[in-house]
Chain A
Amino acid sequence: MNAVARSLWLAGSLGVAAGFVAVWHAVSAAGLVSPVFLPPPAAVGRALVNGFTNGDMLANLAATVARVFGGWLLASLLGIVLGVIIGISSRARIYVAPSLEAIRPLPVSALVPIFIGLLGFTEQMVLAVIAFGALWPTLLSTVHGFGAVEPRLYEVCRSLRLGRWEVIRKIALPSAMPDILAGMRVGLTVSLILVVVAEILGSREGVGYSILLAQRSYQAADIFAGIFLLGCVGYASAGLINIAEKRLIYWRR
C-alpha cells in the first residue's frame, strides 16, 4: 500500500471516529441519555481545558505518569532479574519457580488493602502495588525467552568456550529480547490499571483520584476527561514500546 492510500484510509478512519463522536453529541443533545451519565462531547472538552488551565489536572497527570513508569520500570527490572535466575538455574526452577507459579494468578488488586495496611496511604504503597503486579508478565516471558534460545547457539558458545556470564549477556538476553519486550508491554498495561486502583483506594492525587472525586460530585464531564487522559497515557506508552521494539529487535523481520 502506498503512502497516499494509507493516508486516505487514515482519514476515513478518523472520519468514522468523528462520526461516533457526532452520534454521541446527537444522543446527548436530543436528551436520549441523561447528561448526568453522558455529558455532551463539548462539555468533556471544556472540562479538559478547565482542568489544565485553572485546575490541577497537570499535577495529577504528572503524578500518575511518574507512578506508572516508576512502578513499571521497577517491575520490569525485578521480572528480568528473577526471570534470568530461573531461566539459567535448575535449582531456582525447583525451589522458587513453583511458589511464584502458585501466586501468579492472584488478582493483584486484592493486595491493595493489605499494602495499604502495611505501608499506609503513601507513595511507596502505590509503587509497591504496581511493581508487584506488573512483574509477572515480564518474569514469565523472560523465563520463556531463556527457554527458547536456539540450542545450537549454546553449542557454538561451548565450542568457543564463552563464560557463563558472557553467554547470558551476548546470547540469551538478546535472543530473549522479543519475549521480554512483549512481557514488558503487558506489564505496562497492568501498571496503568493498578495505578488507578491504588489512586482510587489510597491516594490524594493523580488522575485516578480525580476521577473518583468527580464521581462523588456527579461531574460526569470530569470523569470522561480523566478517562480520556488515562487512555492517552495508555496510547502513548504503547507507542513508546513500539519504538523500543523497532530499535531493540531490528533483526527480526
Chain B
Amino acid sequence: MQALPPAVTFPAAAPAAAGKPVIRFIEVGLSYGQRRILEGIDLDIWRGEFVSIVGPSGCGKTTLLRLIAGLARKDEGQVFYNGADVREPSPDVAVVFQDYSKALLPWRTASGNVALALEAMNVPRKEWADRIGSLLDLMGLFKDRDKLPGQMSGGMQQRLQIARCLAQEPKVLLMDEPFGALDAITRQSLQDEVLRIVAERKVTAFFVTHDLEEAIYLGDRVVGMAANPGRIAKSFVVDLPKPRDQLTTREHPRFLAMRHDLFSFIKHG
C-alpha cells in the first residue's frame, strides 16, 4: 500500500506500558447506509499518553473521538474506557469542540460558562468562585471573566471552552480539531498551553487534527488514518525531547524526518 519506503524507521507502536489501556478499540466498524465510515479499528491508548490522529477529511477521525465521548453509535466491535464498554458520556471525559462559538452559551459570561460544568457535576456553590477563578486564571482569561462569548476573540473563546472542560476535572481530554479555525500565532500559543496543561494534570489526550506538524509537535504518538473505508493505516511514536518548543522542536531533524514521512503517507496513501 505504501508508495514510498519510509525515510527513517520508527517504532511502530507505544512501548507496552504497565497495566491496562485507558481506551481500547476492538474491531470497531460503522456504516452510514452504503458508506463504510470505520472498519476494523484496533487501538489502545495508555494513561497519560498524548495521541494525535491525522488523516484526510472523511476518514472517520472525528467519529473515533465521538465514540470515546459516548456521542456516536457503532455497528461492530467494542470501545472500552477503563475496561468498561462506552455506552454514554462519562464525567471523566471532556470534549473540546472545534466550533467554539457554537459550543459556548452566548448568554452566559466566561465565568457562567465555566460554571455550567460545575453545575453538571453538582459542585457545592461555595467552591465555585475559587474554582472558576483559578481555571480562568490558568487560561489567561481572569480579567475577561465578565465578558460574554460574543465579546471575545476566537482564541479567547477556545480558551474558555478548554477552561470549561478542565472544570470537569477530566482524566481524558478529547479535542476535535480545536485550533483549526484560529490564526497561526494564536494556534501556536494554544498548542503550548495544551501541552503544559496535559503534562501538569496528567490527563490522557486524544487530539484530532488535519495539520501534520501539529500532530507531531503535540503527540507522544501519531495515528494516521486512511479513508474509504476509514481505517488506521499508520502509527508511530514521536520520540522528540520534552518539553517541546515551537522553534527548536520544529527544526529538530527527527521532527523533519517524521513530517516528511507522514506527509508522503497522507499524499500517497
* A and B part of one assembly: yes
Report the Cα distance A45→B126, complex, angstroms: 61
Chain B residues, Cβ within 8 Å of A156 = 95, 97, 103, 116
| Distance in Å: Cβ of B130 to nearest Cβ of chain A | 20
CA distance A150 to B101 in the complex (A): 10
CB–CB A159/B93 < 8 A: yes
Q: A interface vs B, CB < 8 Å?
A: 150, 152-153, 155-162, 166, 170-171, 174-175, 177, 249-253
Q: Is B89 an interface residue (CB 8 A)?
A: yes
Do A162 and B120 have beta carbons less than 8 Å apart?
A: yes
Chain B residues lying within 8 Å of A170, measured Cβ to Cβ, are 105, 116, 119
A152 touches B102 (CB 8 A): yes
With contacts A152-B97, A170-B119, A253-B150 taken as known, whether A158 is within 8 angstroms of B102 at the C-beta atoms is no
Which residues of chain B have C-beta atoms less than 8 A from A155's C-beta? Answer: 71, 95, 97, 103
11 contacts between A and B (CB under 8 A): A152-B99, A153-B102, A156-B103, A159-B71, A159-B89, A159-B93, A160-B120, A161-B89, A161-B120, A166-B120, A174-B105
Chain B interfacial residues counted at CB < 8 A: 24
A162, closest chain B residue (CB):
B120
Q: Are A160 and B99 in contact (CB under 8 A)?
A: no
With a cutoff of 8 Å between Cβ atoms, the chain A residues found around residue B102 in the complex are: 150, 152-153
Residue of A nearest to B167 (CB): A160
Contact residues in A for B150 (Cβ distance below 8 Å): 251-253
Please state if A160 and B116 are interface contacts (CB–CB under 8 Å).
yes
A89 smallest CB distance to B (angstroms): 21
Instruction: Report the minimal beta-carbon distance from A170 to chain B, rounded to whole angstroms.
Output: 7
Question: In the complex, what residue of chain B is closest to A174 when comparing beta carbons?
Answer: B107
B182 cross-chain contacts in A, Cβ below 8 A: none
Please tell me if the beta carbons of B89 and A251 are within 8 angstroms of each other in the complex. no
Chain B residues whose CB sits within 8 angstroms of the CB of A249 once the complex forms: 107
Complexed CA–CA distance, A250 and B69 (Å): 33
Q: Is the pair B107, A159 in contact by a Cβ cutoff of 8 Å? A: no
Chain A: which residue is nearest B117 at the CB level?
A160
Q: A157: which B residues are within 8 A, CB to CB?
A: 120
Cβ of A214 to closest chain B Cβ, rounded Å: 48
6 additional contacts, CB 8 Å, given A158-B71, A159-B95?
A156-B95, A156-B103, A158-B70, A170-B105, A251-B148, A253-B150
Provide the bound-state CA to CA distance between A249 and B148, in Å: 12
Task: Give CA–CA (A115, B253) in the complex, Å.
Answer: 86
Provide the bound-state CA to CA distance between A152 and B99, in Å: 8
